[in-house]
Each structure stands twice: as C-alpha cells, then as structure tokens.
C-alpha cells in the first residue's frame, strides 16, 4: 500500500480522522457513511484508539477494513499508556502482518469523563513508543503536536523541545485542532529553529455544536478565540451553528493553504457533512461528493 510520508511534497493531502464504533447502531451509521468517504477520496484516514485500549480490537478491525475493502490508506492510532511492551508489540505485529504500514504513536489520554489518570504503561511517553514501533517493522510513524503547547507541559519552550525530540524520531506530525493560524505558523517556526523540518499537518475540527466544541477544547487544551466564540454564540439554532462552523473552517483552511501546508487533517467524529462542504468550497473534493450524511 502507501506510506503516508511519501504523499507529501505535491498538492496538499486531504485526510480524515474516524472513530471506531462502540455499538451496533454506531457501526451501522459508520458503514453508511463510508460510501461517502469513498467519494471524498482522502489521501489517508486515521483511526482513533480508546483510552487504555478500550477500542483495541475495533480500531484494528476498522483500520484493516478501510484499507482492504475501501482502498483507503489507513493509519492506526496506538497509545502506550496502560499497556505493557509485550501488548504493544503484539498489536504492532498484527498490523504489520495485515499489511498496515502507518501508525500514529501517542502517549494516550484519559476519557473525557475520567476522574483518575490512566495507569502507567511500561513506556512512559510517545517518543519511546516511536522507537518501539521502529523496532517491530518498517512503519511510517506520525506523532501528535499541540500548536499552543500540550496542556500538561511545564511551558511552551519545554513542550517544543520535547516535540522536536519526538518528531526527530518519527516521519511527520499532525496537530490537534486550533483556530488561530499564527499558532500553527509559530509551531513550525519553533521546530525549524530546533533543527526539525519534517511535515506538520494542521488538524481542523469543523464546529458542529457548541457542546462538542466545549468538550473537545477542554480535552485538548485548545483556547478558542473570543471572536470565534462570539460568532458561534450569535448563531440561532443547531443548523445555523453548523453553517457558521463551516464558514469558520473554510476561512481557516484557506489561510493555511495559502501558507503552503502539506495537507489538511479533518477531525470528522464520523460525520462527513461539514467536511465535504468545506472541501468542496476549497476545491479539494470532487464535484460529485455528497453534501448530506
């Protein structure tokens, strides 16, 4: 199949993040949506990994199905928190043997409603996981980046240093979502000053509801600009919120594309309506892509 790092360097890559379904109803909704994903034609799709491995088998099955049945280059998220080294090796060997070549190496975060931290795994941080992935097979490895700094970091300087060390071992990075282009540009500049110039793909989360934005921003530590909050809170009803969210994302993505970003990675939460509208407005989706679903 395709190593994602080989996709960068030409036209910006369109990619999406999906969640493995946690129920039969969610599985049916996702199955119905995957036909629309085929029409969107992303360069790759990443599949999330639940806290403490709660979606371990579902993540594996969706990754393999996307690549085998839909011809979509799939990237498996893998978190080292709460896992032993042997468990991680077993997961990686299964992916390697199934022909999966792309992995997003993460430390792992607790669930949104968790009151206790995750138990420590045998590997303490994502950089150690990157090294383990390298030892198991010829994977293309991505890591996560936070434009405004990780919420648990002691400070931005320390966060950038750790990110540079991690990215030096990996192939590319994908950022958490953000709404200030300057935050992304500063991140890339700071990494370059530390000698790291590997691709950093900006992550985009279309706003579909105020509640979802608040929950995701709290989890990621993303500060939402006041002007954006004002635009969203002025919207009258859920349909208007989604419409304004699409407008905001189109503006953000247009600015990013003008800066020559390697791609755009959309956090879809398994709902493609907004992402398709944004990509069509930007000329990144084929005309026949649907606008509902």
Residues identified as active-site: 17
CA distances from 239 to 58, 204, 243, 247 (A): 31, 20, 6, 13
């Amino acid at each position: 199949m395709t190593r994602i790092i080989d996709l960068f360097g030409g036209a910006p890559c369109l990619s999406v993040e999906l969640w493995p379904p946690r129920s039969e109803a969610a599985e049916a909704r996702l199955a119905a949506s995957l036909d629309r994903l085929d029409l969107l034609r992303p360069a790759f799709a990443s599949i999330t990994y639940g806290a403490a491995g709660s979606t371990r088998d579902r993540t594996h099955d969706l990754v393999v199905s996307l690549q085998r049945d839909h011809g979509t280059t799939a990237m498996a998220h893998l978190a080292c928190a709460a896992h032993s080294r042997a468990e991680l090796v077993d997961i990686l060997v299964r992916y390697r043997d199934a022909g999966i070549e792309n992995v997003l190496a993460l430390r792992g975060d607790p669930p949104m409603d968790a009151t206790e931290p995750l138990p420590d795994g045998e590997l303490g941080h994502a950089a150690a996981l990157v090294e383990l992935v390298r030892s198991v097979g010829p994977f293309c490895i991505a890591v996560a980046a936070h434009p405004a700094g990780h919420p648990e970091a002691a400070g931005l300087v320390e966060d950038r240093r750790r990110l540079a060390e991690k990215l030096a071992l990996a192939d590319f990075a994908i950022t958490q979502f953000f709404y200030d282009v300057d935050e992304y540009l500063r991140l890339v500049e700071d990494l370059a000053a530390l000698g790291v110039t590997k691709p950093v793909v900006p992550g985009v989360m279309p706003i579909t509801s105020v509640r979802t934005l608040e929950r995701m921003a709290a989890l990621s530590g993303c500060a939402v600009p006041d002007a954006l909050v004002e635009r969203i809170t002025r919207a009258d009803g859920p349909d208007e919120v989604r419409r304004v969210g699409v407008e905001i994302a189109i503006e953000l993505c247009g600015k990013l594309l003008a800066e020559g970003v390697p791609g755009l990675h959309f956090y879809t939460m398994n709902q493609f309506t907004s992402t398709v509208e944004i990509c069509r407005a930007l000329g990144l989706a084929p005309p026949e892509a649907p606008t509902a679903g």
